[in-house]
A = this chain, B = another copy of it.
Amino acid sequence: MTVVALSGGVVGAKLALGLSRVLPAGELLVVCNTGDDFEHLGLCISPDIDTVMYTLAGVANPELGWGRGDETWSFMETLDALGGETWFRLGDRDLAVHVERTRRLRAGETLSAVTADLCARLGIVPRVLPMSDDPVRTRVRTEEGWIEFQDYFVRRRCEPVVHEVAFHGAATACAQPDFLAALASPRTTAVVICPSNPFISIEPILAVPGVRAALAECAAPVVAVSPIIGGRAVKGPTAKMMAELGMPPSAGGVARRYDDLIDGYVCDFADMDQVAGIDAKVTLGQTMMTTLADREALARTVLGAARVLRR
């Protein structure tokens, strides 16, 4: 049996960790957004894959919300002293992943193969896949024109007002074959859309040709988890971006954004009033994941919602 989880970075990774702990070993497949990927300092960086890997491996940095917890910063300090670019912070241990990934990608290996080996080395049991082995790059149109995603997200701290989001390369990218195969498999029991930012974490995945159709044809229920709790985004620019893109920053707004893609929708008790009238079957729960127990509890809620929908 397989549960397929679509995830962005931090918050999605928390639910992926919860799922990995409540599901039998080997039943979780996490498909990561790679629209955030970019080349920086000559290195191929995949922020969402790394956050998911580090979270599943138990080495993520809980304070920063990115990178590794057991990190040192000598490289960045020295790069700063040398006048290098330091707006995207790379820890010394984190750097090993980027250098090794870059070397192997340049030698012609796929991002899937490199990710699988990194996960094995990190002792990660669930499978972690990029949405595609082809580059897809999220860009946002702001009042200053189109900006590369990390420029907007990290360097500009999401300050520019966003008018439009696009996924460069998505139209010609091939969905990761094992991802599509899992969606088509009768052994798949649920597809979980993690509580990641719909615009920049989930929709890049959906933008890869064939993914929306495969989700529509998937026999297993598709259950999304709201990234909005009590009308606010737990983390990051989700609420600000939703408002700028003319969508109500509410649990109901996200549910309507996913529209006929989802069969079930898990949102917080606090947002009960926001989801009246949506098509998907709503399950209320506690969606704030502060502790590890919260992550496991939300995973059980989501899997329970999927089980009900399979009947």
Contact = CB atoms under 8 A, between A and B. Distances in A.
Question: Which secondary structure characterizes the binding site on chain A?
Answer: helix
Contacts of A83: 100, 117, 121
A141 interface: no
A118 interface: yes
A8 B43 CA distance: 30
A96 B75 contact: yes
Contacts of A103: 41-42, 84
A81 interface: yes
A27 interface: no
A96 B78 contact: yes
A117 B91 CA distance: 24
Contact of A78 (B74, B77, B82, B97): B97
A97 B83 CA distance: 10
A185 interface: no
A109 interface: no
A106 B41 CA distance: 10
A255 to B, nearest CB: 40
Interface in A24-71: 41-43, 71
A135 to B, nearest CB: 17
A72 B100 contact: no
A92 B74 contact: yes
A69 to B, nearest CB: 12
B75 A92 contact: yes
A149 B103 CA distance: 20
Contacts of A75: 75, 92-93, 95-96, 99
Contact of A74 (B93, B99, B100): B93
Contact of A82 (B71, B77, B92, B121): B121
Nearest to A106: B42
A72 B73 CA distance: 9
Contacts of A238: none
A100 B79 contact: yes
A2 interface: no
A91 to B, nearest CB: 8
A93 B81 CA distance: 10
A79 B92 CA distance: 10
A7 interface: no
A102 interface: yes
10 contacts: A43-B99, A72-B74, A74-B92, A74-B96, A75-B75, A75-B96, A75-B99, A83-B100, A83-B117, A84-B103
